[in-house]
Structure 1
Amino acid sequence: MGKTIPRCLEQLDLRKSFVGLATGAGALYLLYKAIRASIKCQPPLCSNSPICIARLAIERERHGRDSGEIRRLLNSLDCKQDAYTRSMILHSITRCVYLLEAEASTCTMDDINLVAEMLDDKDNSVKIQALSALKAFSGIRKFRLKIQEHCIKVLELISTIWDMELHVAGLRLLNNLPLPDYVHPQLRRVMPALMEIIQSDCILAQVQAVRLLSYLAQKNDLLYDILNCQSSQPGSLLLEVLVFAEHLSEGRNATHYRAVKWHYNEQSLHEALFGDESKLADRLLSLVIHPEEEVQIQACKVIVSLQCPQDLGSRPSSCRPSHSYFKAGE
């Protein structure tokens, strides 16, 4: 009996050893699979460094062969990474497109659509990096028409998400493209968002928004369309645009502005609004019968500012509008 108990203990220890060995082997195998899957889904380490990408560009210039870096990055977007990883991959794609332009030119329209799909990502950082990557690709002529197809989506993002980095990235992309005619109705709908961006504290976003407004003024007469004689236009929207026009006009009277002799391109926003050929004042006359008095008064202020560009203190009395005269029905 005494010999049987130790023998049973030895067998128990042996079984524990086998179980421990099997469990350890299984854990190692699972760890191996996890590491392998992670490596497969991650972009090449080199892509995280601008120095490495620059080195690839130099090597390509010397030897005339593709590095395959952009292709590896695009292929890695098929994996189910977290938002940070997707964002970093798109950021690396943007760098590669700028530094390896000849290699980027060999990409396909499907690659552009793959990047554009990231605009639907739930994470704003991924959207921002996707917009930056599309802007990089838009510098290659053959991709511009394909990228134009996503302009409506970009305008939707700008008008529905209040994120200054996203605004800057989206507006930069739009300003880098010739906008097709079918985008114009959507542009009219996002005018309130553009006005809010211009009044924000982000200078980069303001600059990009004004550039887009300048494009609209010279290409589509869109600013005039907003300030037309249609009384059906929302009063709040008209009022915001009129205030914007007044501030621009009054800015011309600033001392530091007058101290410089400015030269404007004939297609600039300044010329469209304040140039000799501008018809803004004539268009605004129709708004003095707008049903909302605030719109009437603001339209008068802009007209006076346009026709009497002196400082307020030196304006003759004939330049001052009579608010009662411009009331509807009088």
Structure 2
Amino acid sequence: MTPAPSKCRVLWRMLAVQRQLPLRASGQTGLAIERERHGRDSGEIRRLLNSLEVKQDEYARSMILHSITRCVYLLEAEASACTTDDITLVGYMLDDKDNSVKIQALNTLKAFSGIRKFRLKIQEHSIKVLELISTIWDTELHVAGLRLLNNLPLPDYVHPQLRRVMPALMEILQSDYILAQVQAIRLLSYLAQKNDLLYDILNCQVHSDFLNLFQSTQPGSLLFEVLVFAERLSEGRNAPHYRAVKWHYNEQSLHESLFGEDSRLADRLLALVIHPEEDVQIQACKVIVSLQCPQDLGVRSSSCQPSRSYF
């Protein structure tokens, strides 16, 4: 009678199989790239999409989506031959109960969004993506969702949903996860240029230590994006059509933190003028100029004389 294998031996075999999976996947992808280089369709993306339609467990769905994402980037011709039905299939995965599947689906949609003909179809999932970002506190999901949104032109019909998720975006910005913060600030900077969203952003409540984002100890990549955001907000609030309305802001609003009478933004900006990174220095100077020179009837005067200077 053959003795039963020990637990250690079984575990060792399982690990050995798992180690072989990436190698096999890499080999298949390599062959697919070689076939595409010679003008032949490898069928790899189609095979993966077909397998996604079959009932799989969460781990399998996640790995299939990950492989599709890689193939979309590597096999451009095959990816372009996909259909909007394929985008819809991937979009269904955003409703999966497992967060890892949602994240991989977001990454796959991001990959497909680089192909122009799929952008309109992917835009249809914008509201769902915003819902995920605002209701699930998962940093990897935030990064994946925001990267997708930042790669798409957001249509006007999404603006009502954007207003609802603005507090969540501001919370992500004030979190301690640099990748999510950078993606959140990029989206907010884009939205700050939308006239109908500017007040919603400026009146959004922020933490009392919001200006810590402007500290010189922050990573340069984040500092630069925060300064771009501040410049766009400053220019937006000084635009004639915005100044024509008497707006009221909450005491703990972003507006009061940045532009209120008790704001210490000027001190932070002056410290950043001597920042080691040149792009941060330049952007800090741009914010200072925008604060010193409010637009008057759409024209900047040659000598700026603001009614109240921060400096």
User: What range describes the TM-score normalised by the shorter chain of this pair?
Assistant: 0.5 to 0.7
* Matched-pair contact (CA < 8 Å) for 2:143–2:183: yes
1:1-330 matches, within 5 Å, as: 49-62=25-38, 64-220=39-195, 222-227=197-202, 238-240=204-206, 244=210, 246=211, 251=215, 268-275=228-235, 278-279=237-238, 286-287=247-248, 294-295=251-252, 299=256, 302-304=259-261, 309-310=266-267
Matches of 1:47 and 1:182, distance apart in 2: 44
Q: TM-score, normalised by structure 1?
A: 0.64
Q: CA 1:147–1:48 in 2, change beyond 3 Å: closer, same or farther? A: farther
Matches of 1:308 and 1:210, distance apart in 2: 17
Counterpart residue identity of residue 266, structure 2: P
2:54 is paired with a residue of what secondary structure?
coil
Among the aligned pairs, what percent are the same residue?
64
Give the stretch that moved more between structures: 154-163 or 296-305.
Answer: 296-305
Q: Structure 1, unaligned stretches of length 5 or more?
A: 1-44, 229-237, 313-318, 321-330
Once the two structures are superposed, residues 227-259 of structure 1 have per-residue CA deviations (whole angstroms, 9 ceiling, x without a partner) of 36xxxxxxxxx4328864x556x65xx5999xx
Matches of 1:81 and 1:111, distance apart in 2: 17
Aligned residues: 246
Counterpart residue identity of residue 50, structure 1: S
Matches of 1:311 and 1:201, distance apart in 2: 19
Q: CA deviation at 1:269?
A: 2.4
1:309 is paired with a residue of what secondary structure?
helix
Q: CA 1:223–1:242 in 2, change beyond 3 Å: closer, same or farther? A: farther
Once the two structures are superposed, residues 60-94 of structure 1 have per-residue CA deviations (whole angstroms, 9 ceiling, x without a partner) of 112x0100011011011111111000000000000
* Matched-pair contact (CA < 8 Å) for 1:47–1:69: no
Q: CA deviation at 1:55?
A: 3.4
* Matched-pair contact (CA < 8 Å) for 1:284–1:303: no
Q: CA 1:180–1:216 in 2, change beyond 3 Å: closer, same or farther? A: same
Matches of 2:224 and 2:98, distance apart in 1: 43
Matches of 1:61 and 1:226, distance apart in 2: 48
Once the two structures are superposed, residues 154-180 of structure 1 have per-residue CA deviations (whole angstroms, 9 ceiling, x without a partner) of 000000001111110000000000001
Q: CA 1:93–1:183 in 2, change beyond 3 Å: closer, same or farther? A: same
* Matched-pair contact (CA < 8 Å) for 2:198–2:233: no
Q: CA 1:300–1:85 in 2, change beyond 3 Å: closer, same or farther? A: closer
Q: CA deviation at 1:51?
A: 4.7
Counterpart residue identity of residue 93, structure 1: I
Matches of 1:203 and 1:284, distance apart in 2: 36
Counterpart residue identity of residue 53, structure 1: T
2:153 is paired with a residue of what secondary structure?
coil
2:186 is paired with a residue of what secondary structure?
helix
Matches of 2:218 and 2:85, distance apart in 1: 51
RMSD: 3.8
Counterpart residue identity of residue 271, structure 1: E
Matches of 1:69 and 1:123, distance apart in 2: 25
